[in-house]
Structure 1
């Protein structure tokens, strides 16, 4: 599937047309389901292989992923590398914040050091301590993946400016803007990218997505649906705190927000060409629910487990 296909064909014109009609008529049924959503490997399938490694990306595609979520940070000397936590000790045999370490030192680390599995007798084993994996650069990661595989790139570092400039250089050099869509929880990163490279393909801010979902869930409002062409992504289920403030104090409740209701999806897609990505889809039940709602893509930690469960479900249905 080409990047252009990922940007356009997953819109599901028939489903959107039905959603617009339903929204206008006040109907409360779910949007019409169509093609199954694309499976996106979260950090290359962090449940299957050490995350954000070249091996993770290639294994995820072998396991049936159709797109890849990658996480990028920049080293002290300006090299963008695939790594998620702030501290190197979280996943590797190194220590210290990645932003404070030069690439020459990062290059020597084992990205699979902390990855564990259960052995045949139930013991915890670390299969990559004797078979180390390097932390790849963004350039190496993109070069290792076929050009027709869409990449969703999560920019995971503050301050944003050094990371943005480093990513721009790589995407310019590799002519990769058409195959990469960029996400960040920090609006500073996407705002800077938008200003520096108007051709950059971006997700809307997490704040914008969350605020629309809260308005739909708590107030039943759809006053600001996203503009056509918007990409939005957030968790399918999310534990959140609801804070009620009153005269003598406040009360807090922790709930699991199942905020992607049919009404919320209709709101997001009411202006047409809007693409939705559900984070945290690990079961066939959630995959089917996202498909029925009309999501364009779902992100999973384990493409291997999800594909196997879906295949088993299909076999049972066929019996």
Structure 2
């Protein structure tokens, strides 16, 4: 059992994460997408958060509305009343993060903090919902992860930021350095299989993570063959856009959670 075991990770693995709820019909990060994933049996949902200009916390990946909605503009520069009017794929509203916590009370949420302005609203939303056991926070920015940890403490699960991942990779090759505080605070490491053409996830990396009590979750894996290879390698979780495919792969292995 992990030395850093947290209630967020108390489900039997390998863990299946619906990345942005899945990409069916282009409805990423919408209540419809997440509901579909939950109906398929997903217990772990991945999303992203930004704060509007008036401090409302939205579940949305991009910094702007342009790519996936019928509106335009930077979320950080728009009030909630304007973001609320946007429609993902011309159909679905942008949800507030607390709406997801309320709509899916049994689900766990893996949250990528996309901007510093989202940190305090996120911690408040988790606290108000009493959702400390079912949220894990990560970011490409180690500073953002560290700030979340400073505000929330050990009651919140966090994953490693870039600096922590780099340190873990060095340690996996037998290098030595003073262990960053992040390695002692995080409960998991969430990484791509490859970065800039260089393999990140291999047996050596997995051993280094597991020795430190860290689960390894790999994103974003949409190919059935790669899913199988990573599961054979021993990863602890996979994030995917293709939620039916991952469900089928795990079911074939007898690893899809029942109920």
TM-score, normalised with respect to structure 2: 0.84
Partner of 1:176: 131
Alignment of 1:149 with 2:107, yes or no, is yes
> Aligned pair 1:263/2:243, yes or no?
no
Structure 1 stretches of 5 or more lacking a match?
Answer: 11-35, 114-131, 241-255, 315-319
For structure 2, the 5+ residue unaligned runs are 255-259
State the secondary structure of the residue aligned to 1:152. Answer: strand
1:213 paired residue number: 169
SS at match of 2:17: strand
CA contact (8 A) 2:227 2:249 kept: no
Tell me which of 1, 5, 15 is aligned to 1:38. 15
Aligned positions of 1:287-302 closer than 5 A = 287-302=227-242
Which entry has the higher C-alpha Rg, 1 or 2? 1
SS of the counterpart of 1:195? helix
User: Secondary structure of 2:92's match?
Assistant: coil
1:72 is paired with a residue whose SS is strand
Matches of 2:239 and 2:32 in 1, distance apart?
18
Number of residue equivalences: 245
Closer, same or farther in 2 for the Cα pair 1:46/1:101, shift >3 Å?
A: same
Indicate the residue corresponding to 1:97 in structure 2.
74
Against the structure 1 CA distance between its residues 229 and 192, is the aligned structure 2 distance closer, same or farther, given a 3 Å change threshold?
closer
Distance in 2, Cα, partners of 1:186 & 1:99 = 18
How does the TM-score come out when normalised to structure 1? 0.70
Q: Give me the whole-angstrom Cα distance separating, in 2, the residues matched to 1:90 and 1:178.
A: 33
Map of 2:152 onto structure 1: 197
Q: Deviation string for 1:228-280 (max 9, x for gaps)?
A: 86311100123x1xxxxxxxxxxxxxxx2223121221122123x22111112
Distance 1:269 1:95 in 2: 43
Work out the CA distance in 1 between the residues paired with 2:145 and 2:27: 27
User: Aligned in 2, Cα 1:208/1:295: closer, same or farther, shift over 3 Å?
Assistant: same
SS for the counterpart of 2:217 is: strand
**Aligned counterpart in structure 2 of residue 60 of structure 1, from 37, 40, 52:** 37
